[in-house]
């Protein structure tokens, strides 16, 4: 019934509606991750949606960022599943699918700001982001890293910034 496909240009209005409902219409001002996304486009090859026959029910996107101004890395998010479909495993399917794709494409590491209980089973750990800083602090434990290539975050420190 549901299918994971790459995001298409025509999906944008429905994704915006989904994000408005999931994170609020003030998310650009209130959420730290958006400070790393302004004036930057998500990576189209890593933007996926889950769709049914005539509706879009979930979305995941990834953005390019730099660690300490030089080390490329991915920033995951937002991940949102429409209220009617939550708890049915769609979020985890999108997460698993996109992380696998990122690995195939050769990306070394992914950062996320989110609930550790949700992301830890996919290999995310706050310890991997311990020495990295965001534009604004977030609650302890929510800023996490995941190494798609083992050791890719080892020894890295400094600010996470948008790709200019
Ligand atoms: C968080 C979200 C993406 C999860 O998607 P989903 O399809 O409902 O989740 P899944 O069905 O794949 O996973 C369900 C499991 O995750 C857990 N879970 C769901 N939301 C969670 C959260 N915010 N924190 C921790 N665990 C969560 C559930 O308890 C369930 O656990 P179980 O498998 O042990 O029963 C979805 O609830 C959502 O869009 N929420 C609003 C936006 C949001 O908060 N996005 C995440 C940003 S970090």
What ranges do the domains of the chain cover?
A: 3-162
Domain 3-162 fold is: Aminopeptidase (3.40.630)
What spacing in Å lies between the alpha carbon of 23 and ligand 1's midpoint? 13
Q: What is the pLDDT of residue 38?
A: 83
pLDDT digits (tens, 9 = 90+) for 26-62: 988 888 998 998 889 999 999 999 999 989 999 999 9
Distance spanning both ends of the chain, measured CA to CA: 40
Does 145 contact ligand 1 (Cβ within 6 A)?
no
Q: What is the pLDDT of residue 127?
A: 98
What number does the ligand 1 atom closest to the CA of 95 have? 12
What spacing in Å lies between the alpha carbon of 164 and ligand 1's midpoint? 32
Q: What is the pLDDT of residue 153?
A: 98
User: What is the pTM for the complete model shown?
Assistant: 0.95
Q: What is the pLDDT of residue 140?
A: 87
Buried b / exposed e across 69-105, counting CB within 10 Å, b at 16+?
Answer: eebebbbbbbbbbbeebeeeebbebbbeebbebbeee
Q: What is the pLDDT of residue 48?
A: 98
Does 115 contact ligand 1 (Cβ within 6 A)?
yes
Backbone phi, then psi, for 43, in 5-degree steps?
-80, 110
Residues (pLDDT < 50) of the chain are none
Nearest to 30 by CA among 159, 162, 138, 158: 138
What spacing in Å lies between the alpha carbon of 155 and ligand 1's midpoint? 31
Does 57 contact ligand 1 (Cβ within 6 A)?
no
Q: What is the pLDDT of residue 28?
A: 85
């Amino acid at each position: 019934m549901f299918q994971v496909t790459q995001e298409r240009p025509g999906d944008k209005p429905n994704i915006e509606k989904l994000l408005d409902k999931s994170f609020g219409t003030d998310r650009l001002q209130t959420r730290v991750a958006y400070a790393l996304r302004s004036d930057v486009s998500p990576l189209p090859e890593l933007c996926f949606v889950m769709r049914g026959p005539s509706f879009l029910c979930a979305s995941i996107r990834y953005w390019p960022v730099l660690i300490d101004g030089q080390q490329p890395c991915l920033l995951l998010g937002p991940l949102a599943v429409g209220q009617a479909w939550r708890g049915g495993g769609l979020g985890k399917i999108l997460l698993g699918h996109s992380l696998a794709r990122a690995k195939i494409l050769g990306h070394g590491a992914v950062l996320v700001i989110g609930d550790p209980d949700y992301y830890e089973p996919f290999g995310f750990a706050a310890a991997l982001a311990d020495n990295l800083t965001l534009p604004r602090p977030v609650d302890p434990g929510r800023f996490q890293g995941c190494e798609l290539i083992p050791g890719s975050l080892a020894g890295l420190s400094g600010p996470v910034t948008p790709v200019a």
